[in-house]
Amino acid sequence: MGRITLDKVTKSFGSVHVLHGIDLDIQDGEFVVFVGPSGCGKSTLLRQIAGLDKPNSGEIAIDGKRVNDVPAADRGLAMVFQSYALYPHMSVKQNLAFGLENARMPKAEIENRIAEAARMLEIGDYLHRRPGQLSGGQRQRVAIGRAIVRNPTAFLLDEPLSNLDAELRISMRAELSALHQRLKTTMIYVTHDQVEAMTLANRIVVLRGGRIEQVGTPLELYNRPANRFVAGFIGAPS
């Protein structure tokens, strides 16, 4: 579970064409990184996959089911944003529990899931603090924890480390890799940072102006860039 397919997905806002026919097949358990310059349509593409927004044409399916035919709560997708989007008036624990309580999950199961996520992300020591009392890195761990407790089919992460300082970004990058190794859940990760893409991805999707320039493993893109743009962007000499 966790295969995501995109078939000729287009998206416009009024007369602004943002996505021009995106085709992509993401395998179960893959760590796929969308990379490209600011404004190339990465977030827009992720939002279409999440079902937060609807393409003008084309289809997106998760495990063979069209995203927009499945109620949001049943899609099995968990999103993590750059801005954390934690509830400031709730404790860390309440933030983690909130979505599960809304889904009427039994209390004991909620406790189990929170304990497991807290162990994995080492956030157990500040479960009773509020987001305002945490550092940026701690907050981002909580945001990831909130995705993990939902036990999703796929994680969709939009520049989750962009707000962190360089040192923390590097350590969180390693943690995300370890998390993926452990959970083996499909991850789609958006970034404009080439180094992040190269170090995290099983496969990289290079976007430019709402089109896919190339899809491949980091090594493939590095050794055989399809064009000068990819070469320049990934950093190999062309």
Q: Which residues bind Mg ion (CB under 5 A)?
A: 43
Supply angle C-alpha 190, 73, 127, rounded to 5. 70
> Does residue number 131 form part of the binding site for ligand ADP (CB under 6 A)?
no
C-beta of residue 23 within 8 angstroms of C-beta of residue 55: no
C-beta of residue 54 within 8 angstroms of C-beta of residue 2: no
Instruction: Collapse the DSSP code of 34 into the 3-class scheme (helix H, G, I; strand E, B; otherwise coil) and give the result.
Output: strand
Question: Which of residues 43 and 186 has its CB atom nearest to Mg ion in the complex?
Answer: 43
Closest residue (Cβ) to Mg ion? 43
| Alpha-helical segments (H) within 22-165 | 42-50, 92-102, 107-121, 136-148
Residue 232 interacts with, from Mg ion, ligand ADP, none (CB under 5-8 Å by kind): none
Q: Which stretch binds ligand ADP (CB under 6 A): 31-39, 99-107, 142-150, 227-235?
A: 31-39
Instruction: State the number of CA atoms in the 13 A half-sphere of 10 facing the CB.
Output: 10
Question: Which of residues 83 and 217 has its CB atom nearest to Mg ion in the complex?
Answer: 83
Question: Which of residues 138 and 191 has its CB atom nearest to Mg ion in the complex?
Answer: 191
Nearest to 86 by CA among 103, 101, 99, 104: 99
CB of residue 36 to Mg ion, shortest distance in Å? 10
- With a CB cutoff of 8 Å and minimum separation 6, the contacts of 50 are 67, 75, 77, 79, 156
Residue 137 interacts with, from ligand ADP, Mg ion, none (CB under 5-8 Å by kind): none
Question: Which of residues 127 and 157 has its CB atom nearest to Mg ion in the complex?
Answer: 157
> Does residue number 232 form part of the binding site for ligand ADP (CB under 6 A)?
no
CB of residue 1 to ligand ADP, shortest distance in Å? 27
Residues in region 32-61 near ligand ADP by CB under 6 A: 36, 38-44
Q: Are strands 57-62 and 77-81 parallel, antiparallel or unpaired?
A: unpaired
Q: Indicate the DSSP class of residue 69.
A: G
Q: Which stretch binds ligand ADP (CB under 6 A): 13-21, 68-76, 93-101, 109-117?
A: 13-21
**Taking the CA atoms of the chain, what radius of gyration do you get in angstroms?**
18
> Does residue number 16 form part of the binding site for ligand ADP (CB under 6 A)?
yes
Binding site for ligand ADP (CB under 6 A): 13, 16, 18, 36, 38-44
